[in-house]
Amino acid sequence: MVAKQSRVKSHPPTAVASAFGLSLRGWLLSGLPRAKATSKTKAHVVFLGQGQTVEAALAALDLSLPPWLIERAAAKRGEILYAATEAGPLWLLTAQAKSSAAAHDGLFRVSPYGVARDLAAQVVAALADSGLAEVNWHFHGASEAEQRGALVGLELGAYRFKQLRAAKPVLELPRLVLHGVPSGVLDAAHVLGVATNMARHLVNLPPNELNPTTYADGLQELFATFPAMSVDVWRGRKLVQERMGLLLGVGQAAAAGPALVHLKYRPKKPAKGVKPLAFVGKGITFDSGGLDLKDAGGMRLMKKDMGGSASLVGLAYWLAASDAAHPCDIYLALAENAVAQHAFHPGDVLTARNGLTVEIDNTDAEGRLVLADALDVAVGKTGADAPAAVINLATLTGAMRVALGLRIAGMIANDDDLAQALLLAGQRSAEPTWRLPLYADYFVGMKSNFADFANSAPGGRGGAITAALFLQKFVRDVPWAHVDMMAWSEGNTGGCVEAGGNGQCVQLLADFLASR
């Protein structure tokens, strides 16, 4: 027997909404299609919060297990234990605080939210294809952060790109019945999980489908139903009129021309006296390297070079769907770095929107070019639209990946308070981030005899820092942070149980905004 508790049943919205082929209902709202259940057996998942005992949880739910199994569960905290019980199949998830991370002021200690997220995501594989009609999910002694993390983990763990694209989905998921979860926690977790999956999905889309034109058109369609979000797209002649010389230069060889997308979020009930924050995302839908052509290995995953923009689309969806109180402006610089007769050359001199001239040292250092023009648009806003700070996201340099690997985002900033707030948000959201110096002396490497400066420094040493120094030339005196991230997971990490886009920094930025 299972003790009666208040429970929250998820109810799908009246209309099925999707974006770029991704359901916006997710699993928490029974949105993922599933085959007919082959069994009427009910199952139970018990999530045991940190500091709670297995015995207390089982007693509260009127469940019994053999003593040896209870001892094993207590000794194997941080793992998933399966058992067959009189009440049906049982999965027991026992959260365990992550230790050994006291250095660096605890920035790399996995938060309770992160522990719960990653643990819950793993159980989805066990539930998929089980044939179960329904799964009862119980929390015992779990904090709100653990509840939210676990629910986000369920959304992340349920995402499968191939199944979403299949004519007949093969991933079977039972209906979730959540016990003892406040509706506010469920709603918040659902929106954040879907927002993160949206960023993942955009990165996973093949480049023959997602290009600057289809990307911009899809965003106009996605946000048409959100009155607090307006979408403005600059293309073609408008980009020329706005003097977007760097963005135009990068995208001029592609069949689908470049675009700048402005997502303007103004909540119905904005926080009083709060100036908007600006976000700028690199949206290179495919990067061949241009005439400085990448080799085959380096080009293989370059559909992910729009990962910064994808994460900001996820953030925009989170803002609109959760009715966040903070006004924001999001600018996405979209282009394809292609090789064709109109491709820009090494040695070309391009004029940026702010009037600075840039000699092209390397056509494969294109991301900073498109970001530069977009940053100038962002920081140039005046009056009520003048940003309090600007944050850009980009899959920018291999140098950052060499320094920090795939899971840690690098951050360089001109403002200590902004940098610290982002670092702390990264720790709370289990999206680790590390700050590198904005070391001005390195800028000498981009000296040019033919323009104000070049777009990269020969030799590659300190490449992540020189890239940030280039971007700094376009932010004026506005507090600014540059985040250089991977946007891709090669395996089972951070709640993502399959390789592909990982939605990096969506949870970090949502936490950052929610805590302001």
**Residues belonging to the active site:** 294, 368
Residues 6+ apart with CB under 8 A from 56: 140, 141
Residue from 513, 25, 21 nearest 312 by CA: 513
Q: Which among 364, 342, 385, 340 is positioned nearest to 458, based on CA atoms?
A: 364
Please report, for residues 26, 379, 452, 463, 478, the alpha-carbon distance to residue 474 in angstroms, rounded to integers and kept in the order given: 39, 8, 13, 18, 10
Please tell me the distance from the alpha carbon of residue 77 to that of residue 92, in angstroms, as a whole number.
Answer: 10
CA separation for the pair 300, 361 (Å, rounded): 23
* Residue that has been written with the tokens 């995953």 in this structure: 301
**Tokens 């489908």 map to which residue?**
209
Burial of residue 152, with CB atoms counted within 10 A of its CB: 0-12 exposed, 13-18 middle, 19 or more buried: buried
Single-letter amino acid code for the residue at 264: K
Write the Ramachandran bin of 220: left for phi over 0, alpha for psi from -120 to 50, otherwise beta.
alpha
Buried b (16+ CB within 10 A) or exposed e, 479-491: bbbbbbbbbbbee
- DSSP-derived secondary structure for 257-288: --EEEEEEE--SSPPTTPPPEEEEEEEEEEE-
Number of residues written out for the chain: 516
Structure token digits, residue 26? 């997710």
Cα gap 512→220, rounded to integer Å? 26
SS3 assignment, position 172: coil
**In the chain, what are the helix, strand and coil shares in percent, each to the nearest 5?**
35, 20, 40
CA 356/CA 334 separation, integer angstroms:
21
Facing residues of 80 across strands?
93
SS3 99: coil
CA distance 85 to 47: 16
If one counts every other C-beta atom within 10 angstroms of the C-beta of residue 138, the result is 24
Bridge partner list, 136: 44, 177
Nearest to 340 by CA among 249, 252, 266: 252
> Cα–Cα distance between 487 and 77 in angstroms, integer?
30
